[in-house]
Structure 1
């Protein structure tokens, strides 16, 4: 076109720092190149099948402890939580104390308990303790709780010295304090074990240990990969399975199965028993209450039920 015969297009000036360059710099050519095979659905963050990578293994290799992962250890941070855990005899693998920590009665008591129990105590730089506790307010003190060693549900089928084993199973309970309270009731009223599902359920955390007030040392907790199947196995072994629900077939004082080998199933306060678990039960039992109260939480419901079963067995 007339007047534009000398136009050179996108050209840097000769005196520019990067020098002259004509064209796209190869960007168009690279854009046409293949990008390799499509990643698996589980490796694509925006796909519904994506699974987040587990970094607990890399942390454990570095010896940093870390927050609780599935089947891993748990860190309890802070002076009051640490003291409460130690007083409740929560199992501890290591105690971490920040270097040059300002000592008070809680720190001195923690060190005294650790010495009496023979627990390893590590003096740790504060920055390292920040990393170990994942930024929690540790106040210079933390403990590492090792993974809980679960029993197997079949361990409760034949209990030494028990003609009628008594087991409590949890369906959808997610609060560790409820688990701790249930363990305490099981220990108080002659139960032999607790069964929890391995998925979408509470596990044996430091909070559950503390709430059990030491009962977790005496009452084993089993983990079932499939709760419904575990209940069916108990029935095949001669157990009766009863579920607790507001709309029960019988009220608790009329439970005629109390003296038999028994599994008591309790559901969450909001959702109750799941459909499959409910269909597996031999009886659905309700606790008679005043109309002013809608329901009891799981820990209280198990405590009342365990007391009534214990009373019926003592009178038999």
Structure 2
């Protein structure tokens, strides 16, 4: 009988609230579902936690479940892999904050490893994010990336949200499906992608060409900039070309997560990846 066939074992009580003490000895809470860069990844919500439990690469440290969530995991034969604490929903509310929609699941886990940019597959599409800092947007982009079978998302170590908490919840399980490649210098990373044969296309409302009319090829890297600022100058200069998304309406720009899904649809369609 495999792990997924076993009913999870439950431990009553919530223990101490998840917290971390840094080098300064100062207590760091997970209010709002976030943790510091050296702390555990905080995962909550049904799709987010269930996907993490199903991912053998994700090391789960601790797991808090309500009775209803525990029963649902057992009914769907999802192995918990650690003995969970069975708690009241209010205890998870206290740990995450009143606005977190946790659906009775909260986990602490180790971060997934970041692949090397030189190891990316020479096929399909990757996304490159140029200092997009809103975790809701990055989470939504991850979810779209999973839907379009994106090979990886490249982002910077600085000026980007941690892959935890709100971002993980917004991604709805996609963190377990799309590798995140973290780089120190985005222009250097784009140069490496160019050298590897990627077609690197920056997306900008002032781009010289319409993305729908560009002769795209694999491997393709679509580069997205932050809302308001757009692509940084060095990022623009390092891309193979900069293209725009032509829209028929009066508003000519989209939220970055919406722009991402439209660009992915155009790219996947033009590359024959939709079949």
TM range (shorter): 0.7 to 0.9
Residues 1:287 and 2:245 aligned together? yes
Q: Which residue of 2 aligns with 1:259?
A: 217
Q: Closer, same or farther in 2 for the Cα pair 1:211/1:296, shift >3 Å?
A: same
Rg comparison, structure with higher value: 1
Q: Distance in 2 between matches of 1:278 and 1:195?
A: 16
Contact in 2 for aligned 1:59/1:65 (Cα 8 Å): no
Q: Distance in 2 between matches of 1:191 and 1:84?
A: 19
CA shift at 1:56, angstroms? 2.3
CA shift at 1:244, angstroms? 0.4
- Where does the alignment leave 5 or more consecutive residues of structure 1 unmatched? 1-53, 98-106
SS at 2:127's partner residue? strand
Q: Distance in 2 between matches of 1:245 and 1:312?
A: 19
Q: Closer, same or farther in 2 for the Cα pair 1:143/1:260, shift >3 Å?
A: closer
Q: 2:61 aligns with which of 93, 101, 122?
A: 93
CA shift at 1:227, angstroms? 0.8
TM-score, normalising length: structure 2: 0.72
The correspondence of residues 1-316 of structure 1 with structure 2, limited to 5 A, is 55-57=21-23, 68-75=35-42, 82-83=45-46, 85-87=48-50, 89=52, 92-96=60-64, 107-112=66-71, 113=73, 116-122=79-85, 133=95, 136=97, 142-156=106-120, 159=121, 164-256=123-215, 258-314=216-272
CA shift at 1:59, angstroms? 6.5
Q: Closer, same or farther in 2 for the Cα pair 1:243/1:145, shift >3 Å?
A: same
Contact in 2 for aligned 1:88/1:209 (Cα 8 Å): no
Q: Closer, same or farther in 2 for the Cα pair 1:111/1:167, shift >3 Å?
A: same
CA shift at 1:177, angstroms? 2.2
Q: Deviations over 1:45-78 (max 9, x none)?
A: xxxxxxxxx9525769x9x9855111421446xx
SS at 1:95's partner residue? strand
Q: Distance in 1 between matches of 2:219 and 2:129?
A: 17
Judging by fraction of residues, say which structure has more strand. 2
- Where does the alignment leave 5 or more consecutive residues of structure 2 unmatched? 1-19
Q: Which residue of 2 aligns with 1:40?
A: none
TM-score, normalising length: structure 1: 0.64
Q: Distance in 2 between matches of 1:217 and 1:302?
A: 19
Q: Deviations over 1:183-238 (max 9, x none)?
A: 22223223211101000112312333333333332221110111111001111122
Q: Which residue of 2 aligns with 1:17?
A: none
| Paired residues, number | 236
Higher relative contact order (CA 8 A, sep 6+): 2
The CA RMSD over aligned residues, in Å, is 3.5
CA shift at 1:173, angstroms? 0.7
Q: Closer, same or farther in 2 for the Cα pair 1:136/1:206, shift >3 Å?
A: closer
Which segment is superposed worse, 262-271 or 284-293? Answer: 284-293
CA shift at 1:108, angstroms? 1.2
Contact in 2 for aligned 1:65/1:144 (Cα 8 Å): no
